[in-house]
Amino acid sequence: MQAALAPNVTPRIIHRGIEPYQLTFDAMRAFTDARDEHTQNEFWIVEHPPVYTLGLGADQSHVLAAHDIPVVQTDRGGEVTYHGPGQVVIYLLIDLRRSHPKARLFAREFVNKIEQAVINTLEAYNLAGERKEGAPGIYVSNGQWQGAKVAALGLKVRGNGCTYHGVSLNVDMDLTPFSWINPCGYAGLATVDMKTLGVTVPLSQVQNALAQNLQDLLTAP
């Protein structure tokens, strides 16, 4: 008997609106705990009230002055980052064993595709982004803000190949809270948003553009 094709390859896009980080974090873990081989992959698009999140290997000392912003320990990789209003956040609830139609999508390739989706999204607004070796995320590649971080990436990949957490892209934010941490563990790392780079665009437009680029790259043959 011929084996069936892997079901539900294309992720379903869920708009969760503005939501406290802890609520989303708990929901991601519950979703991943409950999923099975038939559960459709999902992208969760969300905007968080101000929050600092710590990766599993994060050094608490990189939070220089939290002020009144909550600090949440997570189970993703990476160091400390900031989420807040005006930032696109997309969480990737993916089964890597069946997310690619022709072959298993391994974690390193998965990260590369997420980064490329951000680069493609920025390019559509005539902004140039690039990767940095050993520093996950996307950085401005030219101009006055060359080297500044515009997008962050952090994932959890469970032993069964299921992922959660995801990617954030700064669109139109109050960037001050980034100065109260060492972003991603790098002292003095400049952080920028699309508005500062000269692009004023509705957050919803960038949310949809990034989600579409992620879908295209993660389901392409």
- Selected residue with higher pLDDT from 163 and 185: 163
Structural tokens at position 116: 């490329």
pLDDT tier for residue 170 given thresholds of 50, 70 and 90: very high
Task: Check residue 2 and give its pLDDT.
Answer: 32
Q: Report the distance separating Cα 34 and Cα 36, nearest Å.
A: 7
Gyration radius of the chain's alpha carbons: 17
Task: Check residue 100 and give its pLDDT.
Answer: 55
The type of residue at 180 is: W
In percent, the amount of the chain with pLDDT more than 70 equals 92
Q: Which of 31, 25, 32 is nearest to 51 (CA)?
A: 25
In 3-state terms, what secondary structure has residue 216?
helix
Tokens 């038939």: give the residue.
Answer: 38
Contact present, 129 and 146 (Cβ < 8 Å): no
- Catalytic site residue from 184, 206, 210, 214: 184
146: Cβ contacts below 8 Å, ≥ 6 apart: 140
Structural tokens at position 46: 């969300």
Is the sign of the CA dihedral 22, 27, 28, 32 positive or negative? positive
The type of residue at 13 is: I
Lowest model confidence (mean pLDDT) among 16-20, 131-135, 162-166, 192-196: 131-135
The type of residue at 59 is: D
Contact present, 81 and 168 (Cβ < 8 Å): yes
25-72 residue pLDDT tens: 999 999 999 999 899 999 999 999 999 999 998 999 999 999 999 999
pLDDT tier for residue 135 given thresholds of 50, 70 and 90: confident
96-112 residue pLDDT tens: 887 555 445 678 889 99
Task: Check residue 4 and give its pLDDT.
Answer: 30
- Selected residue with higher pLDDT from 185 and 23: 23
Q: Is the pLDDT of residue 212 over 70?
A: yes
- Note if 162 is an active site residue: no
Prediction pTM value: 0.92
Q: Report the distance separating Cα 43 and Cα 45, nearest Å.
A: 6
φ, ψ of residue 101 to 5 degrees: the values are -70, -20
- Selected residue with higher pLDDT from 122 and 160: 122
71-101 residue pLDDT tens: 999 999 889 999 999 999 999 999 988 755 5
- Selected residue with higher pLDDT from 136 and 53: 53
The type of residue at 221 is: P
For the sheet containing 129-132, what is the strand order? 12-18, 42-47, 87-93, 163-170, 149-157, 135-140, 129-132
In 3-state terms, what secondary structure has residue 32?
helix
